[in-house]
Amino acid sequence: MYDFELTDVQIAVREVARQFAQRRLAPAARQADREGKFPAVFLKEMAGLGLMGVNVPEALGGAEAGAVAYALAMMEISGACASTSVAMGVTNMVAETICRFGSDEQKKRYVPELTSGRFEAASFALSEPQCGSDPAAMRTNARRDCKYWILNGEKQWITSGDHAGVMVVWARSGKAGADGISAFLVEGGTRGLSIGKHEEKMGLHASTTVSLAFSDCRIPASALLGKEGEGFRIAMAALDGGRIGIASQSVGIGRAALAASVRYANERQAFGHPIADFQAIKFQIADMATELDAAELLALRAASLKEAGRRFTREGSMAKVFASEAVNRVVSKAAQIHGGYGYIDEFPVERYFRDARVTTIYEGTSEIQRIVIARSILAG
């Protein structure tokens, strides 16, 4: 990326997201974390600001502001409340996936519901209890029965699964392996779909994570997204974009942790000085800021490539692995700078610390990102 200036639209989207994040989300984030309260009200307001379809065409209710603007918005929202941002991220990803692979009918039926906030959220149901990094091994089954598909199986770690108006569900419709997988659009509340266990998580308490059970869940033939057997490709394409989202979420959490640390270090006195005067603190601040800038540049580069319609699989994975691992180093330093106050929830750093941890795991673990990158560089 050789020109680092943002466009007016990108700046405007960032500003809208920043204002909302700071005025509405940040003051409520601690309580939402303590209570595990799903941010339905906020998500609806965000839809009103165009944040539920930042990179979705205006004709379908989106902001049509592009992938870079989306990354910037994710950074801002994540800095205030990472639980809200993951729900935002998944909804945007599903809306974009339907725009890209869906039929006109599917687009018209679902995308405006998501961008307007009439649906609280959307979900992405790929992982299963026994297959995470290896989705080609999935067991959920889709059987054709005249005008219907019948789904049977179990999905796990489904973000916003109990609030989703629509979800993309992957299931095996054919032979073993990646080519036998298809993607389907399943509406929340469909008969035969039941919401299982709510996971108790280390962080992201205000976002919900559930398992889904499909028991002879009958959906119309028109629910097939893309072509039969195309599911794996759709999942990988969606995740390429999703990784920019999680990289941006990581940057957002990290920026909040850095800002809190700068504030604290300038105020807290020890040995007769603000602790910001000590090199032990300064150097941690310098490393946090440098790594966050590097992570942000990687995320915006991937987003710029996506926006230009170019391939960005490798760059998306680089952004995701670097940003997610960087934010974990950053929140660890932030907690350290805060001392005991970094370990209690009176200060936001304790929450950032817990929220950051998942970023190296979901939407492709760091290990999967490294496999993607290595495959790309070894292929030349």
Partner 1 sequence: MRIDLTDEQRLLQTTCRDFAAAELLPHARQWDEEKHFPAEAVTKLAELGLLGIAVPMEWNGAGMDNVGYAVAMEEISRGCASTGVIMSVNNSLYCDPLLKYGNDEQKRAWLAPFASGEKLGCFALTEPEAGSDAAAQKTTAEKKGDAYVIRGSKNFITNGPQADAVVLFAMTNRAAGNKGISAFVVDLHSPGVVRGHKDRKLGICASGSCSLFFEECVVPLKNRLGAEGDGFKIAMSTLDGGRIGIASQALGIARAAYEEALHYSKERKAFGQPIAQLQAIQFMLADMATEIDAARLLVHRAASLKDRGVRHSRESAMAKLFASEMSTRCANKGLQIHGGYGYTKEFDAERHYRDAKITEIYEGTSEIQRLVISSAVLKGS
Task: Name the residues that contact partner 1, by CB under 8 A.
Answer: 1-7, 10, 68, 258, 262, 265-266, 276, 279, 282-283, 285-287, 289-291, 293-295, 297-298, 300-301, 304-305, 307-308, 310, 315, 318, 321-322, 367, 369-371, 373-374, 377-378
**Strand 121-125 to strand 164-172: parallel, antiparallel, or no bridges (unpaired)?**
parallel
Q: How far out from the chain centre does Cα 124 lie?
A: 10
Please state, in angstroms and as integers, the Cα–Cα distance from residue 347 to each residue in 22, 44, 133, 203, 221, following that order. 16, 27, 34, 15, 51
Q: Quote the DSSP letter at residue 197.
A: E
Give dist(CA 13, CA 51) in Å, integer.
9
Residue 352 Cα to chain centre, angstroms: 15
The answer to whether 339 touches 67, Cβ cutoff 8 Å, is: no
First CA to last CA across the chain, in angstroms?
Answer: 21
> Catalytic one among 296, 325, 350, 363?
363
**Closest CB to partner 1 among residues 3, 346:** 3
Angle ∠(248,283,360) on CA atoms, nearest 5: 30
Two tokens at 21?
A: 């994040």
> What gap in Å lies between CA 56 and CA 64, rounded to an integer?
5
Cβ atoms of 251 and 298 within 8 Å: the answer is: no
Our CB check for partner 1 shows the closer of 16 and 72 to be 72
Closer to partner 1 at the Cβ: 172 or 301? Answer: 301
Q: What is the closest distance, in whole angstroms, from the C-beta atom of residue 348 to partner 1 in the complex?
A: 18
Residue 123 pairs with which residues in a beta bridge?
A: 167
Amino acid at 133: S
The rounded distance, in Å, linking the Cα atoms of 113 and 119 is 5
Task: Look at the alpha carbons of 63, 68, 72, 77 in this order and tell me if their dihedral is positive or negative.
Answer: positive
DSSP 201-236: -SS-TTS-EEEEEEEEEEEEGGGEESSTT-HHHHHH
Residue 291 annotated to the active site: no
Annotated active-site positions, please? 363
